Homo-oligomer: A and B are copies of this chain.
Amino acid sequence: MPTVNQVPHLQTALTGPLLELEQHLLNHQADIECWFRKQFKQTPAPFYASVDLRNAGYKLAPVDTNLFPAGFNNLHPDLRPLAIQAAQSAITQACPIADGVLLIPENHTRNQFYLENVVVLQEILISAGYEVQIGSLNPEITENTTIDLPSGKKLTLKPLVKKDDRVGVEDFFPCAVLLNNDLSSGRPEILEDIDQTLLPPLDLGWANRYKTEHFDHYKNVSNEFSKIIEIDPWLINPMSLQCGPVNFKDRTGLECLAGAVNTVLQETQQYYDQHDIDSEPFAIVKSDSGTYGMAIMSVNTPDDVLNLNRKQRNKMSSAKEGLVAEQMLVQEGVYTNERINDAVAEPVVYMMHNQVIGGFYRVHTGKGSTDNLNSPGMHFESISFQSSCVMPDQNQAPDAGPNRFYAYGVVARLALLAAAREIAASKNASEVEKAS
């Protein structure tokens, strides 16, 4: 039988509202699952996604939804069969006749953590019954390149080629092409107008996507959901405003940014006052596109964005692969009051198709409860089977492990649904564009 130490020891600041949220979720479990089923029937879920959550004790909200998730190697291996089942559903839905999947990873060939993730993703797809080859966009990969990884596994990257209107490697040009590359450096020419099913679609790369669009969809989703389970949507929705263009080097657009920060701080303070929450509001300022944690700031006053020193302004200007941060997202800061061995922790939930397949805690011993934890020095604690996010236990208290993790799984799937609607909207938009 499982022993208790397989689940990381959690310390959470549980005050009224979150317990209340968890109790509401437990009471409405069949309704919730039924609602999700109908929603994802209407709007198909993305192939996969990971969602960063912040749990303040009185509020549980998504703060980042990644449609090209890495980190599959950080999931607990016990839960692998869930991923295999979900992968079968996801590929069958996208490409019913597919026998193979071409996987296109990020270009980094020296980040071994990332490559371990690619190997695990490949293993999941093979176990789901597909031939999987890795086609690399990296111009340095000019021949088949096998890399030995710290885990003892091997990964073979092959140069991606185009033949007629299909991409592939060697003689492998399957119907399904899975992107594990967020296209931060733009839309690769080789992937334009291919006659294959690209998952997720090219338009969802960071070259085209804005976080604020995602959070607009999320706001609608959380409003609809909150009506069903009769909660205040504020409990699960972080206020999000777009602002820009901002150029930190030239100091243009900073007034607008300070205004947005002011709005977020004031509205949050108002809510805190109404609900007797004794915390100081803060706001997160980050690039409205891109996934990496560099161009991100936690601020307590509007002045914080006006009085940046040179180093801070440089940092905010240097998003991933040289992409300039122009549009900014100003988001209500949600305290993370989860602790693992005294270090701050935030849950990251992984989904494939419309299923939660696992998750982990991102833990940082050198950060505080208002900080971005996705930064050097972080480590991961996987969430194991006892807490698989899909199996609440009505016989336990609302804040018991399985129920806490069920709440994570529900809020993460709300973000997944928002992403599904975002994809559907982007498809409609690109069809309208093609037609005109």
Q: Hey, which bits of chain A sit against chain B, CB under 8 A?
A: 1-3, 6, 29-30, 32-34, 36-37, 41, 77-82, 84-86, 88-89, 92, 96, 99, 126-131, 152-153, 355, 385-386, 388, 390-392, 395
Residues of B within 8 A of A32 (CB): 129
Give the 10 A-B CB pairs with smallest separation, nearest first: A33-B129, A78-B385, A81-B388, A34-B129, A81-B390, A85-B85, A30-B131, A80-B391, A34-B99, A81-B82
Complex contact A78–B34 (CB within 8 A): no
Residues of B within 8 A of A37 (CB): 88, 92, 129
Task: Pick 5 A–B contacts, CB within 8 A, sort by A.
Answer: A29-B126, A33-B130, A41-B96, A82-B82, A153-B395
Complex contact B127–A81 (CB within 8 A): no
Residues of B within 8 A of A36 (CB): 129
Given A29-B127, A33-B127, 8 additional A-B pairs, CB 8 A: A30-B126, A30-B131, A34-B130, A37-B129, A41-B96, A81-B391, A82-B82, A127-B390
Q: Given contacts A92-B37, A395-B152, is CB(A78)–CB(B129) below 8 Å?
A: no
Residues of B within 8 A of A129 (CB): 29-30, 32-34, 36-37
Complex CA gap A388/B88 in Å reads: 16
Complex contact B2–A33 (CB within 8 A): no
Candidates B30, B34, B86; contact of A85 at CB < 8 Å: B86
Residues of B within 8 A of A34 (CB): 99, 129-130
Candidates B80, B89, B153, B390; contact of A89 at CB < 8 Å: B89
Q: How far is the CB of A174 from chain B (nearest CB, A)?
A: 12
Q: How far is the CB of A216 from chain B (nearest CB, A)?
A: 27
Complex CA gap A37/B36 in Å reads: 25
Residues of B within 8 A of A385 (CB): 78-79, 81, 385
Complex CA gap A80/B405 in Å reads: 15
Complex contact A391–B355 (CB within 8 A): no
Residues of B within 8 A of A1 (CB): 6
Complex contact A128–B33 (CB within 8 A): yes
Q: Given contacts A6-B1, A386-B78, is CB(A85)–CB(B130) below 8 Å?
A: no
Closest to A100 in B: B30
Complex CA gap A386/B37 in Å reads: 29
Complex CA gap A249/B225 in Å reads: 65
Complex contact A355–B80 (CB within 8 A): no
Complex CA gap A82/B99 in Å reads: 23
Q: Max chain B CB contacts within 10 Å: which of A78, A96, A130, A395?
A: A78
Complex CA gap A128/B355 in Å reads: 11
Q: Given contacts A2-B78, A386-B78, is CB(A127)–CB(B84) below 8 Å?
A: no
Closest to A1 in B: B6
Residues of B within 8 A of A126 (CB): 29-30
Complex CA gap A84/B153 in Å reads: 31
Residues of B within 8 A of A131 (CB): 30
Q: How far is the CB of A304 from chain B (nearest CB, A)?
A: 43
Complex CA gap A78/B391 in Å reads: 10
Closest to A88 in B: B37
Residues of B within 8 A of A6 (CB): 1-2
Complex CA gap A300/B162 in Å reads: 65
Complex contact B85–A82 (CB within 8 A): yes
Q: How far is the CB of A83 from chain B (nearest CB, A)?
A: 10
Complex CA gap A392/B124 in Å reads: 11
Complex CA gap A82/B84 in Å reads: 10
Residues of B within 8 A of A89 (CB): 89
Closest to A353 in B: B85
Q: How far is the CB of A345 from chain B (nearest CB, A)?
A: 19
Complex CA gap A3/B92 in Å reads: 35
Q: Max chain B CB contacts within 10 Å: which of A81, A99, A152, A390?
A: A81
Closest to A153 in B: B395
Residues of B within 8 A of A84 (CB): 390-391
Complex CA gap A130/B385 in Å reads: 22
Q: How far is the CB of A387 from chain B (nearest CB, A)?
A: 10
